[in-house]
Amino acid sequence: MKLRDKVVVITGSGGGIGAACARRFADEGAKVVVTDVDSDGVTRVASELATVGLAVDITEEGSVHAVAELARRTYGQIDIWFSNAGYAGPPRAGDLSDDQLWQLNWQLHVMSHVYAAREVLPAMLDRGDGYLLQTASVVALALHPDKPAYSVTKHAALSFSEWLAATYRRRGIKVSCFCPGPMLTPMLMADGVPPDHPIVKTAATPEQVADRLVDAIDVERFLILDSPLGQDCLTAKATDYEQWVQDMAQQTTA
């Protein structure tokens, strides 16, 4: 799908990858609607792009509806909904006890995607055209040993994308799941990764990621990877699942 003249909603676009994609998509001629829980970020990015934005919490279904209504009132029917917002949280080795953290991860990484699909799919199906793009993580193909809630919900996000693609592709709906590796964003720094760590040296910038996403959307690729890490994880699981689990066990600090 070409981005020119398409109406695109990007969640989590007040900073990081979302903001970089908002700028890059706008450069391609898309009509971008900015939304994020960070009101200052929404104001800044929307002003820069001369577009509209709304600061909301998309873990609430009413907020997703409000963003969609803003997009439709301003530009018309939504062509692409990019569910990009996410939260990693600090490493908490083996922590299964924090119900609030589990609920936040579930609402943000799974239910916000469900709410978006409920909101925009009916009109897309009527037109026989539309695009649902979701950000999961390379963790969805592997795991994060110190973040069980993050790992489990990112797997669920990928599974939901798979279900959407299998269910609606024949009816004209394009679906992509973006599973990025480490990126130079505040989320990575919040993990306490030192600036001289090898991960930082090889991590992509948000701008590089945005370029890759434009290319992937153009060819309507389902699984979007930005490094060999994701493919390596898939290959390792398919080749020797037991060994993959053993390798993951060696990395945990629990």
List the catalytic residues. Answer: 150
Q: Count Cα atoms within 13 angstroms, Cβ side, for 126.
A: 8
Spatial distance between the Cα atoms of 254 and 146, rounded to a whole number of angstroms? 7
Angle between helices 61-75 and 112-127 (to 10 degrees): 40
The structure tokens 């970089």 sit at 20
CB-based contact 230:181 (threshold 8 Å)? yes
What is the DSSP secondary structure assignment for residue 88, as one 8-state letter? -
DSSP alpha helix (H) spans, the chain: 16-27, 39-49, 61-75, 99-106, 112-127, 148-168, 186-190, 198-202, 206-219, 228-239, 241-251
Beta bridge partners of 36: 55
Distance CA 160, CA 139 (A): 15
Q: Is the dihedral of CA 12, 17, 22, 28 positive or negative?
A: negative
Strand pairing category for 7-11 and 31-36: parallel
CA distance 249 to 157: 23
